[in-house]
Chains A and B, each alone.
Chain A
């Protein structure tokens, strides 16, 4: 397996407050990588740094052998990295179908967009039923589905998911995680999954990273992490 994305010694700051300390990690083509950690560990900051919304003060982000450190967010998206952010961030006053259009904002291939829209509706039939409704009127679970569908509309090669389970009923979470696995298997999309629900995330992931206070403190295959005593105690509540 070849490296798709690599973070090398990243330090990211909010103003003068350092949020990430010397973070290094890599993602191979076709993998599902999970990043687990508590509140404020720096998981979302890591994703925002990859996406170009935040620029790291030190270190570099290399994607497909190209240094994308400090690249503008819209350029990063055009290279195939797409994020489903924490809290979903649905456009509340755009209809569901318009939300999907926005996902494909940078694409010009009309037929491809149409195809992907149908694929998204196939994955999430509820979105098709409600396609004319405003995004803000959806339930939390439906919004999460819409957020994932919108990201897929960009036809990403690397999909970043930030806490897709947040605030959702267990049954919906299960459904969403099944779809994440399906996306990875069917279209070979590489997935970087950030989760507080460590148990679920480690079950669908291939390799995992554990983050604490802005630092990567542990990395291994997900199976090994699931069996690790420290991980069990801190994140699995066992």
Chain B
């Protein structure tokens, strides 16, 4: 009786290799979910922006993320050998990965999608799947099929009051994502190119007629989406500590799910969808079982799509009268 009362007042549970209160456990799961959601968001934005402009699901986008992570690994290896400090390596790795992935995104659009612009919608979709398989195998052959260790580039620092609950790399990932999302939102809202992107997404023909170069806008969309994925690739690789040629597939599918959940084509939708998906997965893993992580993620997707077929923030199709 007495011991039960104590347990209710101050429930201590064992998780991982530590003991803490339920609240601490909840917070740890919450921050883990935020981190996951952040990475999903960085990738999902690329899916949703490309879909918004050319109504194509760019299945090669996950591979862009993977290439970003590999570029980061190579840069980190070289700079590490040259004795650069950790933080400088992180910044340079992200910058080089962004440039590299952006170049890949730009080129993929020119090679695999642009020639098919007038074709039936299935053709570029198949082309995208082909590009995805090609890039996976290209990286596998050029690098290796084994998991490679990725150095921890994010410096360790203490977060007052939350030690052991949230790691410094989680803080950095979430902070970077928030900054990127705010910057992107402002750019789309007020930037000249951002406005041109919205206009092109809403009516491509009219965009041409006011003098917007549609090709430039499409290229810019791929470059921006790929850059965001590269940022995510380097950060998460450093957080998890290993990469291989296949990481883009799973991350890509999850991020795509997040984009659909939020309403594909909608930028705030992708951010929200990613956050919801990340948190759901984290709590499902923590409170139920890690075996059910994907079950919960996709059950949530099904549930939301039943009630809002176009996603949470997607445009619900309206009847034209």
Q: Which residues of A contact B (CB under 8 A)?
A: 51, 53, 72-74, 77-78, 82-83, 85, 89-94, 98, 101-103, 105-106, 150, 154
Q: Are the C-beta atoms of B198 and A73 separated by less than 8 Å? A: no
B141 on the A face (CB < 8 A)? no
The distance from the CB of B290 to the nearest CB of chain A, in whole angstroms, is 41
Q: Are the C-beta atoms of A74 and B212 separated by less than 8 Å? A: yes
Report the bound CA distance from A36 to B164 in whole Å: 77
Known contacts A94-B198, A98-B195; decide if A74 and B206 are in contact (CB<8 Å): no
Report the bound CA distance from A188 to B107 in whole Å: 46
The chain B residue with its CB closest to the CB of A153 is B210
Report the bound CA distance from A89 to B196 in whole Å: 15
Report the bound CA distance from A211 to B192 in whole Å: 40
Q: Which residues of A contact B203 (CB under 8 A)?
A: 89-92
CB neighbors of A among B199-214 (8 A): 199, 202-203, 205-213
The chain A residue with its CB closest to the CB of B206 is A89
The distance from the CB of A100 to the nearest CB of chain B, in whole angstroms, is 10
The chain B residue with its CB closest to the CB of A104 is B210
Q: Which residues of A contact B195 (CB under 8 A)?
A: 94, 98, 101-102
The distance from the CB of A198 to the nearest CB of chain B, in whole angstroms, is 25
Known contacts A94-B199, A101-B195; decide if A89 and B205 are in contact (CB<8 Å): yes
The chain A residue with its CB closest to the CB of B318 is A136
The distance from the CB of A17 to the nearest CB of chain B, in whole angstroms, is 15
Report the bound CA distance from A72 to B211 in whole Å: 9
**Those 6 A-B pairs whose CB atoms lie nearest each other, nearest first:** A77-B211, A89-B206, A106-B211, A73-B208, A74-B211, A91-B202
Known contacts A91-B199, A93-B202, A94-B202; decide if A85 and B209 are in contact (CB<8 Å): yes
Report the bound CA distance from A53 to B205 in whole Å: 8
Interface 0/1 of B223-262, CB less than 8 Å to A:
0000000000000000000000000000000000000000
The A/B interface has a contact count, at CB < 8 Å, of: 60
The count of chain B contact residues (Cβ–Cβ below 8 Å) is: 16
Report the bound CA distance from A154 to B210 in whole Å: 8
A94-B195, A102-B199 are known; give 19 further A-B pairs, CB within 8 A: A51-B209, A53-B208, A74-B208, A74-B212, A77-B209, A77-B211, A82-B209, A85-B205, A93-B198, A94-B198, A94-B202, A98-B195, A102-B195, A102-B210, A105-B192, A105-B211, A106-B210, A154-B210, A154-B211
Q: Which residues of B contact A154 (CB under 8 A)?
A: 210-211
Q: Which residues of B contact A150 (CB under 8 A)?
A: 210
Q: Which residues of A contact B209 (CB under 8 A)?
A: 51, 53, 73, 77, 82-83, 85, 89
**Within the complex, which residue of A51, A74, A94, A102 is in contact with B213, where a contact is CB–CB below 8 Å?**
A74
Q: Which residues of A contact B213 (CB under 8 A)?
A: 72, 74
Report the bound CA distance from A77 to B192 in whole Å: 17
Report the bound CA distance from A85 to B210 in whole Å: 11
The chain B residue with its CB closest to the CB of A78 is B211
Q: Among the interface residues B196, B199, B205, B206, which one has the most CB atoms of the partner chain A within 10 A?
A: B206
22 A–B pairs (Cβ distance < 8 Å), ordered by A = A53-B208, A72-B213, A73-B211, A74-B212, A77-B209, A77-B210, A77-B211, A78-B211, A82-B210, A90-B206, A91-B206, A92-B202, A92-B203, A93-B202, A94-B198, A94-B202, A98-B195, A102-B195, A102-B207, A102-B210, A103-B210, A105-B192
Report the bound CA distance from A101 to B198 in whole Å: 12
CB neighbors of A among B168-211 (8 A): 192, 195-196, 198-199, 202-203, 205-211
Q: Which residues of B contact A72 (CB under 8 A)?
A: 213
Report the bound CA distance from A85 to B211 in whole Å: 14
Report the bound CA distance from A74 to B205 in whole Å: 11
Q: Which residues of B contact A101 (CB under 8 A)?
A: 195
The distance from the CB of A154 to the nearest CB of chain B, in whole angstroms, is 7
Report the bound CA distance from A94 to B201 in whole Å: 11
Q: Which residues of A contact B192 (CB under 8 A)?
A: 105
The distance from the CB of A80 to the nearest CB of chain B, in whole angstroms, is 11
The chain A residue with its CB closest to the CB of B189 is A98
The distance from the CB of A69 to the nearest CB of chain B, in whole angstroms, is 17
Q: Which residues of A contact B208 (CB under 8 A)?
A: 53, 73-74
CB neighbors of A among B244-292 (8 A): none
The distance from the CB of A81 to the nearest CB of chain B, in whole angstroms, is 10
The chain A residue with its CB closest to the CB of B198 is A94
CB neighbors of A among B36-52 (8 A): none
